[in-house]
Amino acid sequence: MTDLKIIPVSSQAELERFIRLPMRLNAADPKYIAPLLFERREALSPKHNPFFEHAEVQFWLAVRGGRDVGRISAQIDSLCREEPGKPTGQFGMIAAEDDPAIFQALFDTAEAWLKARGKTHVMGPFNLSINEETGLLVQGFDTPPFFMMPHDLPYVAARVEALGYAKAKDMFAWYTGVPTFPKAVDKRLARPMGDGVVFRPVDKKHFERDIKALVEIYNDAWADNWQSVPITESETKYMKDSLGFILKDRLIWFMEIDGEPAAFGVMVPDLNWIARDLGGKLFPFGWIKLLWRLKVGKIPRFRVPLMGVKRKFAKDPRGILAPFRIIRELRDQAVKYGMTNTECGWVLEDNRPMNHIMENLQAVPYKTYRIYEKAIG
């Protein structure tokens, strides 16, 4: 074991190795789908991802005998709310061969980095933010992941727990075919929406305005949620550029109440399914397949990654039904593109209102992702 080294990622070549390592580790897993390399390069680049504007981040590789055998990140997000007397940093991007020595060395390094910066607790995994990929897969290994959802090998959770990490919170991904509502819900949705309500899709001519409205609703709706982090103005632009690449017509819907943006929902094609056989690469012919599948072909898998209702409208009779109306409209539009499978999530295990909506959709919680925490001070 003496030849095991943990090296900080400090060059573009090392970052490329960091990005590609999970592709080798998961090569024998038929459910694994390699992410698009260009998307991962941008997501982990301070030049492109505005997360780095408010966070300090370090990546490491574990190397043995000249071969990469593991990776991890540590990050400190200045926008994260901390409990009084409990300064907390984060870890993420964990992937390694099934060897306790590798996991030990990686976490020792990440924890030392956080302790040197005054942190006494660590929580994760966040890849890199709670607004991006979050959690470690602990249940649901038998199905491929949807876009922007992690996929981990079954042994990883046991290795992390063996290092003293305990559950902080679980999150569910909910799965259904074409979402359907109980008759009682359909009957309520058939009633008029009420005075002062405007229900509309995103306006492409004012896309930037609508994305800002979406973020305004999101930041308000989730402000009191566990570990929530607001989306910044720079991240709004990044989201606009990213969503523009994969969005289909009429798959962002808004409800306005009394002239104010009150609720929204987003549904996106499952980019993982679209890129399932590309091995993460777009050249020389991957672009052709990707664009054809996005623009022309039928897409069976869609995901609802974002939804929110402003808190002031959450108990308003007009706002209470907003999630159901939005999901119904997203469903009807996505079916036109070929949707037969839907994922909604993630949803915190103790978010009863949202989990209740999922139950009403006759969805099942088919994957569980876990956030761990540990005292390191």
CB atoms within 10 A of CB 371: 22
pLDDT of residue 2: 66
| pLDDT tens readout for residues 333-371 | 999 999 999 999 899 999 998 999 999 888 999 999 999
State both tokens at 318. 């007009």
pLDDT of residue 18: 98
Q: What is the pLDDT along the chain (377 residues), one digit of tens a residue?
A: 569 999 999 999 999 999 999 999 999 999 999 999 999 999 999 999 999 999 999 999 999 999 999 999 999 999 998 888 999 999 999 999 999 999 999 999 999 999 999 999 999 999 999 999 999 999 999 999 999 999 999 999 999 999 999 999 999 999 999 999 999 888 988 888 888 999 999 998 888 899 899 999 999 999 988 999 999 988 888 877 876 778 788 999 999 999 999 999 999 999 999 999 999 887 777 888 888 888 888 999 999 998 999 999 998 989 999 999 999 999 999 999 999 999 998 999 999 989 999 998 889 999 999 999 999 98
State both tokens at 257. 């109440």
Distance CA 265, CA 278 (A): 29
What stretches of the chain show up as alpha helix (H) in DSSP? 12-25, 37-43, 100-115, 155-161, 183-189, 207-221, 233-246, 271-274, 286-295, 317-320, 322-336, 352-360
Burial class of residue 360 (count of CB atoms within 10 Å of its CB; 0-12, 13-18, 19+): middle
Q: 153 in helix, strand or coil?
A: coil
pLDDT of residue 284: 75
CB atoms within 10 A of CB 21: 20
Residue among 3, 370, 329 nearest 166 (CA): 370
Q: How far is CA 131 from CA 79, 83, 239, in A?
A: 12, 19, 11
| pLDDT tens readout for residues 287-299 | 888 888 888 889 9
pLDDT of residue 59: 98
**82 Cβ contact partners less than 8 Å away, ≥ 6 residues apart:** 88
pLDDT of residue 291: 83
Distance CA 280, CA 84 (A): 42
Distance CA 257, CA 222 (A): 19
Phi and psi torsions of 72, nearest 5°:
-165, 160
Q: Quick check: 312 and 264 in contact, CB under 8 A?
A: no
